[in-house]
Amino acid sequence: MTNLRRFGVLITLCVAVSLASAKEVEGSTSIAPVSSEIAHISSQPSVAPTDSAPLVTTPVAPTPAMPSEPVSVSTDSKSSALPPPNTADELPSEPIDESQLTPDLSQLPPEPTSLEDQAKALQYDIPMPWGHDLFEKYRQYYLSDKGRKILLSDMQKAAPFMDYIQSKVAEFGVPKELAYLPIIESAFSPFAVSRSGATGIWQFMRNSIQGYGMTISDWVDDRRDFMKSTDAALNKLVDNYNQLKDWPLAIAAYNAGLGAVSRAVNRNDGNADFWQIYNKDLISKQALDYVPKFLAVASILRYPDLYGLELPFSTVKWETIALNRQVDLKLLASKAEIPLDTLKLGNAELHYTITPPEDTHILKIPADKTDQVKAILADPNAPLVRYEIYKVKQGDTLTGIAKRYGISISMIAKVNGNMNPDRLKIGQKLMIPLSLQPLNGSSASASQSSASLATHTVRKGDTLYSLARRFGTTAQKIATINGISMESILRIGQKLKVPAAP
């Protein structure tokens, strides 16, 4: 009977082990239903497991996804711990080369730490002379509070022109840094004039425009035209580079002249390297300082975000329109609802607020006003120039009338197409254009205070109209200020109150 009972217990134990294996295959860790039986059998001394024959040889791996009651196999300390899983089959047959998993940090470039290190790590079209004494001094200045204000102020003035300039820099395929050259030339003012007479944002001299598509006349000065002067400046820089094969030298030649720099290269044994020429003082000090100063500015403005400089966006997209008649910018600005200052800035080449009477002039307008302006220009009845009607008196000559109004005979003749300039008739009516106000002059009002007035001594040839044009006001306002009539004859030596120079 006892043997039969033992046989039954052994069968029960086998069933429990089989169930545990089946649960393991299914991903379960619980064998709780048979745990009490296993504990009861293990308490019988006649079937206690030996050290050499543990009760359970197949471990049950716990799975976190399906928690269960802990497994209790035996109260005997020798058999209560399950043997560790055999993971030998899961290991690779060859040892892992840990050097393949760990990057070789010695081969990586050092991470930039300072602002200067970050700046040096950036890409420039013209190599920057890091460590050069004058270059670094200019950088230090322009990165100071005062220098930053200057750069931001200049770039604010550059905003209407930068889209065009940068598009042309890309079109010419020249270094991007060249777009910032006007910073040290003119601070991006199209009306800037140097002591030597250089004019416009690119500061062309009168004798340096030949061959570059610019003209100077009684009506226009193309050195102030931001489009024509930009094209001319980039062409000139390209010509310098093609001759010298070095961008710092090409930039120096823009300041000192190609001839002077070419002679310096010859004195440097034909070696076209600006920094050698700099060290030997082979060109003027002004030209030697010019290049490091420009490169310092360009190194900052090329990557303004690095220095926390928030540059203004371009404010105007420009469109060009070919005119076939004269246009007064003041009238056009009013009719097309364009700020007059915007038209003046875009057409700074004009001497007056009226376009030339001869030939075809290219007018620059905001692109978003193109359709509106074209509609105005297409209307033959739309007055685009202001006129005064002058009635010819006995003794009048066309020369005298032109002098009185401060305009040319050809202009009066053009406006009055049916007149015979050699035969004026008493009572004949002439149209005299009154739009000849200086484009960049100061305005004056009849109520100006004495603090804003200056005294002018009348010289030979002066008229109310010529003085009005010179001082940026109207003949009527000068007459009102001085308590005289429009018909008054000015005497040489007479003192007149006129608007003070800005």
**163 within some domain:** yes
Residue 2 has, within 13 A of its CA and on its CB side, a CA count of 3
Selection from 91-105, 200-214, 414-428 with the highest mean pLDDT: 200-214
The whole-number average pLDDT for the span 446-466 is 71
| 322 beta partners | 362
DSSP character string of 239-291: HHHHHHS-HHHHHHHHHH-HHHHHHHHHHTTT---HHHHHHTT-S-HHHHHHH
Compute the distance between CA of residue 330 and CA of residue 332 in angstroms, rounded to an integer. Answer: 6
**173 within some domain:** yes
pLDDT of residue 48: 36
Question: Model confidence over 223-268: pLDDT tens digits?
Answer: 999 999 999 999 999 999 999 999 999 999 999 999 999 999 999 9
For residues 44 and 188, membership in a common domain is answered with no
For residues 252 and 132, membership in a common domain is answered with yes
Burial 141-175 (b: 16+ CB within 10 A, else e): ebbeeebbeebeebbebbebbbebbbebbeeeebb
- Residue 402 pLDDT greater than 70, yes or no: yes
CATH number of the CATH domain containing 142: 1.10.530.10
Confidence of residue 501 (pLDDT cuts 50, 70, 90): low
- Percent of the chain with pLDDT strictly greater than 90: 47
**103 vs 87, higher pLDDT:** 103
pLDDT of residue 307: 96
Residue 499 has, within 13 A of its CA and on its CB side, a CA count of 23
Domain count, the chain: 4
CA 18 to centroid of chain Cα atoms:
79
Residue 148 has, within 13 A of its CA and on its CB side, a CA count of 11
Compute the distance between CA of residue 342 and CA of residue 348 in angstroms, rounded to an integer. Answer: 10
DSSP character string of 190-239: TT-B-TT--BTTTTB-GGG-TTTT--B-SSBBGGG-HHHHHHHHHHHHHH
Which residue matches tokens 């190194």? 299
State which of 327, 358, 378 marks the end of a domain.
Answer: 378
pLDDT of residue 460: 85
- Residue 53 pLDDT greater than 80, yes or no: no
Q: Which of 410-424, 445-459, 469-483 has the lowest mean pLDDT?
A: 445-459
Confidence of residue 10 (pLDDT cuts 50, 70, 90): low
For residues 343 and 463, membership in a common domain is answered with no
Confidence of residue 77 (pLDDT cuts 50, 70, 90): very low
Token pair for 54: 């543990």
**139 within some domain:** yes
For residues 153 and 255, membership in a common domain is answered with yes
For residues 161 and 251, membership in a common domain is answered with yes
For residues 293 and 368, membership in a common domain is answered with no
For residues 362 and 397, membership in a common domain is answered with no
Cβ–Cβ under 8 Å, residues 269 and 259: no
Largest CA distance in the chain: 162
State which of 307, 341, 368 marks the end of a domain.
Answer: 307
Question: Model confidence over 155-188: pLDDT tens digits?
Answer: 999 999 999 999 999 999 999 999 999 999 999 9
Classify residue 324 by its DSSP letter.
S
Question: Model confidence over 127-153: pLDDT tens digits?
Answer: 999 999 999 999 999 999 999 999 999
For residues 291 and 393, membership in a common domain is answered with no
pLDDT of residue 74: 43
**91 within some domain:** no
For residues 416 and 475, membership in a common domain is answered with yes
The whole-number average pLDDT for the span 477-499 is 80
Domain that holds residue 190: 127-307
Compute the distance between CA of residue 273 and CA of residue 276 in angstroms, rounded to an integer. Answer: 6
Selection from 67-71, 257-261, 469-473 with the highest mean pLDDT: 257-261
Question: Model confidence over 103-114: pLDDT tens digits?
Answer: 565 666 666 679
Classify residue 50 by its DSSP letter.
B
CATH number of the CATH domain containing 393: 3.10.350.10
Strands 387-391 and 429-433: antiparallel
**119 within some domain:** no
**313 within some domain:** no
Q: What are phi and psi of 134, to 5 degrees?
A: -70, -40
For residues 268 and 134, membership in a common domain is answered with yes
**176 within some domain:** yes
**93 within some domain:** no
Residue ranges in 353-463 assigned as alpha helix (H): 370-378, 398-405, 409-415
Residues classed as catalytic: 185
For residues 411 and 372, membership in a common domain is answered with no
The whole-number average pLDDT for the span 320-326 is 91
State which of 307, 335, 360 marks the end of a domain.
Answer: 307
- Residue 29 pLDDT greater than 50, yes or no: no
- Residue 273 pLDDT greater than 80, yes or no: yes
Selection from 393-402, 445-454, 474-483 with the highest mean pLDDT: 393-402
For residues 190 and 281, membership in a common domain is answered with yes
